[in-house]
Structure 1
Amino acid sequence: MSDLKTYGYNTFSEIFVSVSTENIGRVTTVNKTNYKIITESGFKTGELTGQMLYSLSPSELPQTGDWVEIINYAESCIITKVLPRKTTLLRKTAGRTSDVQILATNIDTALIVQGLDRDFNINRLERITVALLDAKIKCIIVMNKIDLDPDWQSKVEKVQNRLPDITIIAISALNNTAIDTIQKQLIPQQTYIMIGSSGAGKSTLLNQLVKKEIQQTQTISTSVGKGRHTTTHREMFVLSNGSLLIDSPGVREFGLALSDSDSVTTSFSDIKYLSEKCKYKNCTHTNEPGCAILSALEDGSLLIEEYNSYLKLRNEAIHYQQTVQEKKKKGKNLAKLIKDMKNKNMKKRYD
């Protein structure tokens, strides 16, 4: 039981009280078709039942962070069921489809790591923050590489002005500067994930938090100014204070797959506050009379950059939802067509 407790069992046990602890494990790493599972008796290699492997969609398969029901063997186990997820962090895949990729599950808080070099991008921070808050995941912005930017404080101030409700920590992972400030934010047995572009310094930060070299680090490519991938899969680590951290491959693009387009306003506290003062409840904040947001733009109390970012993210969320609805409609039409064809064939058989 001690191993399960270390990996956060006590914070999830109320979800699956009917399952014996000897038949429970948590996925710490996904390696294509096999899984590294922490169990009551330590780590084991887990494999799926044939039914799970061939009948479940990719999003239904076990992910890093998942709690699973298992059948134990000597050094391995068989995964028979994915237990209910408390949170799911996903992003829309590139392109016009509505397909999504699950990054991890059962996350309490995300550390959004962004470098203060060429990686710095406030709009990307807003985008990721919107996705996290929609998934009911808390977030902390970690602005790394203050050793490379003498003007780092002004950038921190800009981000804080755009995202006033989000905790921001400025560090140098390479020089071990302000790492203790992050550690104070991390709670034992809670699960965290690091998100950021390749080269943002996630692996260096992880090594500092774990207090040993467990992830390789690489320099930024001088030819394109972008980071090289050092982390190739999502893996969960236990930090020195007992909290859990999932390191993930670099993510430069983060397509929004929101359950509700209105949740975009959650990250824009100024816009959320102003929208409640609009004359019409269904105001689109684009051309309606009595729009408090447009009035704030005119008098300069709302930044045009913040407004444009909000509109872009909201329109993207609306487009995603429309694509999902179209996909569902096509699926229903196809199912109806197949049913009608079956009925016609049955009728011909008995005519």
Structure 2
Amino acid sequence: MSGAIQWRGLTWPAGGVTRADVELTTLGWNPEFEKAFAALAREGRFPARVAAEHKHAYVLFSEEGELVGEVVGRLLKRGPRSELPAVGDWVVAGWRRGDRARVDIHAVLPRRTRFSRRAAGEREEEQVVAANIDFVFLVSGLDADFSPRRMERYLALVEASGARPVIVLNKTDLCRDRQEREARVRALAGEAVPVCWVSALRGEGIEALAPYLRPGSTVALLGSSGVGKSTLANRLLGEERQATAATRTEDGKGRHTTTRRELLLLPNGGLLIDTPGMRELQLWRSAREGLLAVFPEIVELARSCRFRDCRHEAEPGCAVRAAVQAGALAADRFRAFCKLREELESLEAVGGRRRRRHAPKLPGRRIMRG
């Protein structure tokens, strides 16, 4: 690393970006962002990518080097929290008059993709976890904390984000029943979602991740605490940059070692967003599309229900419940779908009927027959 960035009592480890060694394409810049920036360009302004955030202060990567910026003007005062910069965003930055130590952030360029969840707390609010990501590595440990139900929740959000999911099963050195685990993962992910088996600690299977880490490509690491995200990040970085901690042996649960989302430059030119563990990942309204993608067999079965608005509870002629009773649909998978559907419907009820009217229908909410 190249030291640290300090500003107003805050300290970030520098990511090694200097004016001499970085090009925008290395950071993921493309013609789509170029066109969006051209409409907002002014003298003295330049594009930069958000690498880390702390309240309204941001570490930025740019051709000007590694900078610290603050949101100013209408961007700070208008709109919801989700419109503020998030890690991975491209922003319009400009030097503050008379101050070459920091920059102002004037605008956020339109996002290609965004991974969102409901923010913590009672207020209904979207939190953008990461933006402009190409792939999401859904990291799951193969130890005592292995959870297919949690994986379904993550998949629903990733499918809705616009990024492509890749399931990374870590800690293969601790797995004694690979065939059974593989069958459970394939049952929920299907054949379309790539599955990679790795041991980040031993460096085994890491080569399977290379196709997704091309120069200029952005990958986000997501998973609960203790699955080995920081160990995997260090393996990909080629150095011990991210703090790690051992999991509890009795239940496989880990402790938070990554405390903030951060964009990291990989030696091969790829970009990696490391995130803190999120054991409680609440859905956001955009996950409706993702839920349909994660449970395609239930969507298909629902087309054969006698009633178009069948909720698969006690209605006669329900094809979904019939499949469960016949053993053609796993009961735990059906329960998982119902739980996620109810969570989304509860969120929509709070959000109001206007937003609900324009959302795609879930099975059990007037699904059309095929």
CA contact 2:158–2:290 (8 Å) conserved in 1: no
Is residue 3 from structure 1 mapped to residue 9 from structure 2 by the alignment?
A: no
Is residue 27 from structure 1 mapped to residue 47 from structure 2 by the alignment?
A: no
Offset of 1:260 from its aligned partner?
6.4
Alignment match, 2:182: 156
Is residue 110 from structure 1 mapped to residue 136 from structure 2 by the alignment?
A: yes
Aligned AA (2:333): E
Alpha carbons of structure 1 residues 186 and 278: separation in structure 2 relative to 1, 3 Å = farther
Alignment match, 2:261: 234
For residues 301-312 of structure 1, the aligned pairs below 5 Å read: 301-312=328-339
For residues 256-295 of structure 1, the aligned pairs below 5 Å read: 256-259=283-286, 261=288, 263-295=290-322
Q: Which moved more, 1:88-97 or 1:30-39?
A: 88-97
For residues 308-347 of structure 1, the aligned pairs below 5 Å read: 308-325=335-352
Secondary structure in structure 1 of the residue aligned to 2:128: strand
Secondary structure in structure 1 of the residue aligned to 2:155: helix
* 1:189-231 CA-partner distances (Å, limit 9, x unpaired): 1221111111110011011112122112111246875312111
Is residue 16 from structure 1 mapped to residue 37 from structure 2 by the alignment?
A: yes
Secondary structure in structure 2 of the residue aligned to 1:242: coil
Is residue 255 from structure 1 mapped to residue 282 from structure 2 by the alignment?
A: yes
Offset of 1:96 from its aligned partner?
5.1
Is residue 300 from structure 1 mapped to residue 321 from structure 2 by the alignment?
A: no
* 1:233-290 CA-partner distances (Å, limit 9, x unpaired): 1111122332211000111011111236465221012212223333443332333344
CA contact 1:257–1:317 (8 Å) conserved in 2: yes
CA contact 1:203–1:231 (8 Å) conserved in 2: yes
Secondary structure in structure 1 of the residue aligned to 2:168: strand
Equivalent in 237, 241, 247 of residue 214 of structure 1: 241
Alpha carbons of structure 1 residues 327 and 227: separation in structure 2 relative to 1, 3 Å = farther
Alignment match, 2:9: none
Structure number with greater Rg is 1
Whole-Å Cα distance in 2 between the matches of residues 62 and 111 of structure 1? Answer: 22
RMSD of aligned Cα (Å): 2.5
Whole-Å Cα distance in 1 between the matches of residues 216 and 127 of structure 2? Answer: 25
Equivalent in 80, 83, 94 of residue 109 of structure 2: 83
Equivalent in 178, 199, 212 of residue 185 of structure 1: 212
Alignment match, 1:125: 151
Secondary structure in structure 1 of the residue aligned to 2:260: coil
CA contact 1:163–1:269 (8 Å) conserved in 2: no
Alpha carbons of structure 1 residues 63 and 296: separation in structure 2 relative to 1, 3 Å = same
Whole-Å Cα distance in 1 between the matches of residues 252 and 354 of structure 2? Answer: 39
Percent of pairs with identical residues: 36
Offset of 1:19 from its aligned partner?
4.2
Q: Which stretches in structure 1 are left out of the alignment for 5+ residues?
A: 329-351
CA contact 1:112–1:142 (8 Å) conserved in 2: yes
* 1:6-28 CA-partner distances (Å, limit 9, x unpaired): 11111633443434495211111
Offset of 1:61 from its aligned partner?
1.5
CA contact 2:37–2:47 (8 Å) conserved in 1: no
Q: How many pairs were matched up? A: 328
Equivalent in 67, 70, 74 of residue 44 of structure 1: 67
Q: Which moved more, 1:270-279 or 1:225-234?
A: 270-279
Alpha carbons of structure 1 residues 223 and 295: separation in structure 2 relative to 1, 3 Å = closer
Alpha carbons of structure 1 residues 224 and 322: separation in structure 2 relative to 1, 3 Å = same
Q: Which moved more, 1:37-46 or 1:309-318?
A: 37-46
Q: Which stretches in structure 2 are left out of the alignment for 5+ residues?
A: 1-18, 356-370
Alpha carbons of structure 1 residues 319 and 211: separation in structure 2 relative to 1, 3 Å = same
TM-score (norm 1): 0.85
Aligned AA (2:265): V
Alignment match, 2:89: 66
Q: Which moved more, 1:188-197 or 1:123-132?
A: 188-197
